[in-house]
Amino acid sequence: MNEEKYIPIICGKETAKVRVSDVVMVMKDKRKLRIVTDEKEYDFYERMEHVEPLLDSRFFCCLKGCYINLEKVISMTDQTIYFDNGFTFGLGRQNFIKTRQRYKLYLKKTAIR
């Protein structure tokens, strides 16, 4: 049986199990990680090295310490990434170009033929 991976969220007020498929973005913010999902955002103390192995080919490192789920992207324009849950994320020019190229490859690979 193929069990889906999840990221354990353990912090002072909340403990949760977040499915990797629900993750929109993971980013490092000083010593904390911020995980944005379809429903909610989580901020907790964790090292990126513990979460990276759980992320699969749907995820792309668009900045150092920042991964986006290409499956959740609906469009990219004007150096901004738009996600299907309404979340937006801006990038600098070089990182936006690199990320858009990777998104194009992702779309070509996943396109129904």
The answer to whether residue 65 sits within a structural domain is yes
* Contact between residue 7 and residue 35 where contact means Cβ atoms under 8 Å apart: yes
Distance CA 15, CA 89 (A): 26
Residue-wise pLDDT tens digits, 23-68: 999 999 989 999 999 999 999 999 999 999 999 999 999 999 999 9
Kindly tell me if the per-residue pLDDT of 110 is higher than 90.
Answer: no
Kindly tell me if the per-residue pLDDT of 1 is higher than 60.
Answer: no
The answer to whether residue 82 sits within a structural domain is yes
Number of domain units in the chain: 1
Give me the CATH number covering residue 104: 2.40.50.1020
Name the residue range of residue 53's domain.
Answer: 6-110
Specify the DSSP class assigned to residue 91.
-
The answer to whether residue 66 sits within a structural domain is yes
Which tokens sit at 104?
């194009």
The answer to whether residue 39 sits within a structural domain is yes
pLDDT at 113: 53
Kindly tell me if the per-residue pLDDT of 14 is higher than 90.
Answer: no
The answer to whether residue 1 sits within a structural domain is no
Q: Average pLDDT, whole number, for the chain?
A: 92
What values do phi and psi take at 13, rounded to 5? -95, -20
